[in-house]
Chain A
Amino acid sequence: MSAGLPGLGLGGLFFVLLALLAPFVELIRTARGRSSIAAWRAVGRQFALALTMVAAVELTLRSLYALADATGLAGPLSERSPTVLALRPIGITLGLLACVLAAAKALQLIATIRARRRRPVPALRALRCRLRLLGQLGALTAVCLTLPLVGPTELAHAPVEDSASDCRAKPERAAPCDGPGRVGRERPPRPAAASPGS
């Protein structure tokens, strides 16, 4: 962050999770006799901050949904967020984070295996390896970019199970029906949780 890294993105969620996990880590350290009151104080502070952040993000999401409801830009809140937390956007972001961490772990495994097999490589083969690696990286980037694209798109079509009856029941909210079981105007997407960039 202090190196001028942009935004919070996945990093925000990563650090919030680490802060929420910190008491458990500290418990293990305490059991091993490697903790102190000062360490517990620091962990408690981080944990409290992380909890406050989660609550604040949830409050913000709910406020935004409520605002969208009030202005008629979105469906009612009850339809969009049936749980206490806005689990769907948080779930997508968590999934992304898991993918990134897994990819890093996979790279580590590959690097370890390659280091064991390392031997002199002819120039042509090195070039082929480089091209293949470039292709793999391109594919990985495409997947990574698709995920955030799929997330909001999927959210935009969120609960559609009873759209025809919904259309009949709330004519003042919904746009005119194009046909049976289809709503003319698509639902607006939800913003991704705690991660605008991811």
Chain B
Amino acid sequence: MGNEIAMLEGARHEVDLTVIVPAYNEAETLGDTVRSLQRQTVSPDRILVVDDCSTDATAEVAESLGVAVLRPPENTGSKAGAQSFALDRVDTRLVMAVDADTTLAPDAIEKLFAAFADPEVVAACGFVLPRRVRSIWERGRYVEYMLAFSFFKRIQDNYGKPLIASGCFSVYRTAELRAAGGWSTRTMAEDMDLTWTMYRAGHRVRFMPDAVCYPIEPHDMEFLGKQLRRWSHGFVQNVRLHWSSVLQLGYLRSLVAVAFWDALLASLAYLVLVPVLAIVLDPLVLLAYLVDAPVVVIPVLWQAIGRRETGRALGSFPAFFVLRVVNALYMLSAVWREFVLRRPLLVYEKGH
């Protein structure tokens, strides 16, 4: 404990941070994001809002809150493009990327900074939770995040390789980020691309569960579809792009192999095989859909009880199974388009 405090104090004295907030038509949500950054226990040196040629009052909102606004000559076409545009103007040792629809807990940056006491760590990400939990999709995502960040991601961190430093809230060492080429636009999941690039270069990435952020998640099918299309295509594109280097990284290789199995064959089995077996063999096969329910509910409840959100977690639980089916459909579609039809997703569609 003493060690941790000493490390934190060390990190606190070294605060040298620029926050980049890429924004395209985010006038409604940007104010909350900037205010949450300004109320941090550890203040960043500079907040840069990249107004990516918005057609609403995004720039005015940012200027009214006293932060610097950058405007590229034309729309960069993606979040990664807007972030990279700002990266050229960063002169601090650390740089943070925060989505314009994401707010941070007051001590989020302070908690995230603790990771950088280790000189080998070049990136750190935090715990993500949906800010609004109302629609079925937000509820499904709430359970998905509670499960992923309270169990899976902690284990990934324990074994030294979180699968992704989430793009909505991560801090990087500027020099290493530049050396990795910044946020690339070659895939639809620039955060996964960057994380795997950093692993390939032999760097460490940490997950800090006490650093919490709250993005706005898709509330309807239209936004959800755009987000899932990006994520599923992004995952497949990253597997294609990085497969040779991922194969050489023991734990990450296993992690990606299992994730790819689940993405492809588990989706097929979930959507096709189980119903077919239920018809051909016995309807009792349908019980297979319920067997892993405890694997979801235990870590979610564990986390929810600590956060005093037990009712919300239990109420949201069924939505997770609906979201899972939708996830599976989008993932299969992405694999089909990317691998079989050879029609990669190239246009970044903004969802949330």
Interface size bracket, B side? 35 or more
Q: In the assembled complex, which residues on chain A have CB atoms less than 8 Å from the CB atom of B283? A: 188
Q: In the assembled complex, which residues on chain A have CB atoms less than 8 Å from the CB atom of B298? A: 49, 52-53, 56
Q: In the assembled complex, which residues on chain B have CB atoms less than 8 Å from the CB atom of A149? A: 273, 277
- Quick one: given A46-B155, A188-B282, A194-B295, are A3 and B247 in contact (CB under 8 Å)? no
B281 touches A196 (CB 8 A): no
> What is the minimal beta-carbon distance from A75 to any residue of chain B, in angstroms?
12
Total interface residues on A, using CB and 8 Å? Answer: 69
A9 touches B261 (CB 8 A): yes
- Quick one: given A6-B327, A8-B295, are A141 and B290 in contact (CB under 8 Å)? no
**A158 on interface, CB distance cutoff 8 Å:** no
- Provide the main secondary structure of the chain A interface: helix
Q: In the assembled complex, which residues on chain A have CB atoms less than 8 Å from the CB atom of B227? A: 4
Stretch at the interface among A10-18, A119-127, A174-182: A10-18
Q: Give CA–CA (A103, B257) in the complex, Å.
A: 9
**B3 on interface, CB distance cutoff 8 Å:** yes
**A189 on interface, CB distance cutoff 8 Å:** yes
**B336 on interface, CB distance cutoff 8 Å:** no
- Provide the main secondary structure of the chain B interface: helix
**A192 on interface, CB distance cutoff 8 Å:** yes
Contact partner of A101 among B257, B263, B274, CB < 8 A? B257
**B288 on interface, CB distance cutoff 8 Å:** yes
**A31 on interface, CB distance cutoff 8 Å:** no
Give 1 or 0 for each of A1-34: 1 = CB within 8 Å of chain B CB.
1111111111110111011001001000000000
B248 touches A108 (CB 8 A): yes
B253 touches A4 (CB 8 A): no
Contact partner of B267 among A1, A193, A195, A197, CB < 8 A? A197
Contact partner of B327 among A5, A194, A195, CB < 8 A? A5
**A169 on interface, CB distance cutoff 8 Å:** no
Q: Give CA–CA (A57, B257) in the complex, Å.
A: 24
B265 touches A144 (CB 8 A): yes
**A70 on interface, CB distance cutoff 8 Å:** no
Interface of chain A residues 144 through 163 with chain B (CB within 8 A): 144-145, 148-149, 152-153, 156
Q: In the assembled complex, which residues on chain A have CB atoms less than 8 Å from the CB atom of B324? A: 6-7
Q: In the assembled complex, which residues on chain B have CB atoms less than 8 Å from the CB atom of A197? A: 262, 265-270, 274, 328
A22 touches B163 (CB 8 A): no
> What is the minimal beta-carbon distance from B47 to any residue of chain A, in angstroms?
25
Contact partner of A191 among B269, B290, B299, CB < 8 A? B290
A15 touches B266 (CB 8 A): no
Give 1 or 0 for each of B223-263: 1 = CB within 8 Å of chain A CB.
00001100110110000000010011000011111110111
Give 1 or 0 for each of A33-61: 1 = CB within 8 Å of chain B CB.
00011110011011001001100110111
A145 touches B273 (CB 8 A): yes
Q: Give CA–CA (A149, B273) in the complex, Å.
A: 8
Contact partner of A22 among B158, B192, B289, B292, CB < 8 A? B158
**A94 on interface, CB distance cutoff 8 Å:** no
Stretch at the interface among B27-35, B70-78, B144-152: B144-152
Contact partner of B328 among A7, A112, A115, CB < 8 A? A7
Least CB separation from B264: chain A residue: A141
Q: Give CA–CA (A55, B188) in the complex, Å.
A: 39
**A68 on interface, CB distance cutoff 8 Å:** yes
Least CB separation from B326: chain A residue: A6
Least CB separation from A57: chain B residue: B294
A100 touches B258 (CB 8 A): yes
B153 touches A5 (CB 8 A): no
Given contacts A3-B163, A191-B287, 8 further A-B contacts (CB under 8 A): A4-B228, A7-B262, A45-B154, A74-B284, A141-B265, A153-B281, A189-B277, A197-B270
What are 30 A-B interface contacts by the 8 Å CB criterion? A2-B144, A2-B163, A3-B235, A4-B227, A4-B231, A4-B331, A7-B328, A12-B292, A14-B255, A15-B155, A45-B154, A49-B299, A52-B298, A53-B294, A57-B291, A57-B294, A57-B295, A64-B291, A73-B284, A100-B261, A103-B257, A104-B254, A108-B248, A148-B269, A188-B283, A191-B290, A197-B262, A197-B269, A197-B270, A198-B262
Give me the interface of A with B, judged by CB distance under 8 Å: 1-12, 14-16, 18-19, 22, 25, 36-39, 42-43, 45-46, 49, 52-53, 56-57, 59-61, 64, 68, 73-74, 97, 100-101, 103-105, 107-108, 111-112, 115, 141, 144-145, 148-149, 152-153, 156, 186, 188-189, 191-198
